[in-house]
Amino acid sequence: MISQAWMVMATIYAIQMCLMVESLPEANKIAGLPGQPQVSFQQFAGYITIDEKQNRALFYYLAEAETDPASKPLVLWLNGGPGCSSIGAGAFCEHGPFKPSGNVLVKNEYSWNKEANMLYLESPAGVGFSYSANKSFYSSVNDEMTARDNLVFLEHWFDKFPEYKNRDLFITGESYGGHYVPQLAHLIIQSKAKFNLKGIAIGNPLLEFNTDFNARAEFFWSHGLISDATYEAFTSVCNYSQIRRQIQSGSLTPLCSGVNSQASREISKFVDGYDVTLDVCLSSIVSQSQVLNRLQDSEKIDVCVEDETVQYLNREDVQKVLHAQLVGVTEWSVCSDILQYDMQNLEVPTIPILGSLVKSGIRVLVYSGDQDSVIPLTGTRMLVNGLAKELGLNTTVPYRAWFESRQVAGWTQVYGNILSFATIRGASHEAPFSQPERSLVLFSAFLGGKPLPEAILSVTPIRI
């Protein structure tokens, strides 16, 4: 009798657990975001607890693929900063399914969920809606802690969404994502986590401190933003990596301060370093010194979309639908005001990690919006080319133009069919925002392991 009773109780418990597992995603399902157009794909948002004792939780937003999501891969997106929101920047300003416009959302015709199930993560805790109840966590966060928490997030998220466990997984990001993305991928391999990791893609990434920052002077000079004399000062008096290092440590010398001030005067405060060719959103002009500033000039692009995103995500009705809450902050912001990241981590080179991933059979794509002066393409291209030589990879696609809509969309080079570099023509630091169609073509080719489109020359016969 005792045995039978135990079996009955065990069966009931198992059924309850199954029902609980099945109901977890439903609890985070979004019926519809306020003001959004009607769509057929599902959306989910909510929290994954990373540390029960410290009550630390990371916030995510999942936009399933527009069509046939069961056959599409899962793509995790991580914005940089360090300390900036993947949901506010990536999802709502760049390549998510919607963009704010006034009090409503409009459909993004070049959303990346056309090709994949897109998972946006606000990381580390203290960014966006992610939080730690123990505020001491915010006092010193570093790359190692971020990678570890991101791995725990994925493990718990897959428990919540088991239908994704066997899907192809790609990890993508930009800017300081040049640290977040490869470090997480490397940790996945080291931990032997049972994820089907296929590749990583990083845009305008910070890979090596000196190379990346010192490329800025030549970029400014070649684009006519600084004079010959100022360029000479960068090469002979004080370079950009020295300036950045001294500013971070609060020890800017008079010599370096002079060079920096001279460059700033010539460039002017009305040029956005993240896209040097386009106009700025005047309402955001005072915040151009912030970590991220998506400012564009195009008939198709709302140059003030970041401002609109901040307003939208601070609406109570929006937060309620997202199952989000503000913990320890009074308002949601694109980049964290409470997180104190260890800025010495900026000097940790991640190029060796890319090499390790390639050796492990993970496809790596590094791409650059070619109008970005913050992490210029010249430094990035040099680093990727150097890595290919170090790994002994032969060039399988020689440096060439690639196309979208019969126009040159950028340039690309592929090494060993596993390591790729590409530029996106006319794109900013956040390429999918300023060149959404070209970025989607690049993204689609990357997921499919296909070469970027080449020009097809059609010759009209001469009639005599």
Would you please indicate which residues are annotated as catalytic (active-site) residues?
A: 175, 372, 429
- DSSP output for 257-323: HHHHHHHHHHH-TTSBTTBTTS---GGGGGGTTSS------BTTB-TTHHHHHHHHHT-HHHHHHTT
- Residue type for position 304: C
In 52-168 the beta strands, taken as DSSP E runs, fall at 56-63, 74-78, 98-101, 104-107, 117-122, 131-132
Distance from C-alpha of 196 to C-alpha of 188, rounded to nearest angstrom: 10
Distance from C-alpha of 246 to C-alpha of 240, rounded to nearest angstrom: 10
Task: Select from 23, 94, 25 the least CA-distant residue to 64.
Answer: 25
- DSSP output for 353-422: HHHHHHHTT-EEEEEEETT-SSS-HHHHHHHHHHHHHHHTPPEEEEEEEEEETTEEEEEEEEETTTEEEE
What size, in residues, is the chain? 464
Calculate the CA 196 to chain-centre distance: 20
Calculate ∠ Cα 151-153-158, nearest 5°: 100
In this structure, the strands spanning 363-369 and 419-424 are parallel
Neighbouring-strand partners of residue 159: none
Distance from C-alpha of 310 to C-alpha of 294, rounded to nearest angstrom: 13
**How crowded is residue 270: how many other Cβ atoms within 10 Å of its Cβ?**
10
Distance from C-alpha of 439 to C-alpha of 2, rounded to nearest angstrom: 64
Cis peptide before 82 (omega within 30 of 0): yes
Cβ contacts of residue 107 below 8 Å, gap of 6+? 37, 39, 97, 98
At which residue do the structure tokens 């725990």 appear?
152
Distance from C-alpha of 388 to C-alpha of 259, rounded to nearest angstrom: 35
Task: Select from 124, 210, 240, 133 the least CA-distant residue to 382.
Answer: 210
At 62, list the tokens: 């999942």
Contact yes or no for 188/94 (Cβ under 8 A): no
